[in-house]
Amino acid sequence: MEDPPHPLPTPTDVSLVFPPHPIWVHTARQTIRTLLTASHRPELTDTAVLLTSEAVTNAINACAGKGCTTPVTLYAGWTDPYRLRVLIHDEAPGTPTCRTPDPDDEDGRGIQLISYGADAWGVCAHGPGRGKATWFELGRSPQLGMPMAI
């Protein structure tokens, strides 16, 4: 039987750089799951993994649609001990938008899910040249009397 992971003494940050290929979505999800397990924040895990999956998939699809082959970067870190920020950067031109897909559509809900599930989110230019970063935050400080996750 495998020993359980040893918790980190303080929350930590992680980053992952990977080619814009769908096989990496699983690794991105596992990276976030591991970070939250190590940080003793299980209440954020399901939402963070779902939103990470959507944001990474959007970045990979944007790269595929624009012929972009530069790596995608995932960064996740704590803005304070209670609030997680996840940022996904890609070099594909254009900005993702929140759409309202038809009920039968099989895609087009990623940004919509992020907007519903995150405590805060956005898209920003990231550095000179092409590309952008989609980010979201989860978790609230207990002093604010607000839920830790949606």
Closest listed residue to residue 91, CA positions, set 9, 29, 19: 19
The predicted pLDDT at position 130 comes to 77
Farthest-apart Cα atoms in the chain, separation = 50
Residue 114, number of CB atoms within 10 A of its CB: 24
Angstrom distance (rounded) from CA 54 to CA 28: 10
Which CATH architecture group holds 14-144?
Answer: 2-Layer Sandwich (3.30)
Domain ranges of the chain: 14-144
The predicted pLDDT at position 97 comes to 64
For residue range 20-76, list pLDDT tens digits in order. Answer: 999 999 999 999 999 999 999 999 999 999 999 999 999 999 999 888 889 999 999
Angstrom distance (rounded) from CA 66 to CA 71: 13
For residue 3, is pLDDT > 60?
A: no
For residue range 68-112, list pLDDT tens digits in order. Answer: 889 999 999 999 888 999 999 999 887 776 666 666 655 656 788
Phi and psi, residue 83, nearest 5°: -120, 120
Angstrom distance (rounded) from CA 88 to CA 37: 20
pTM: 0.82
Residues whose CB falls within 8 Å of the CB of residue 126, separated by 6 or more in sequence, listed in order = 89, 132, 133
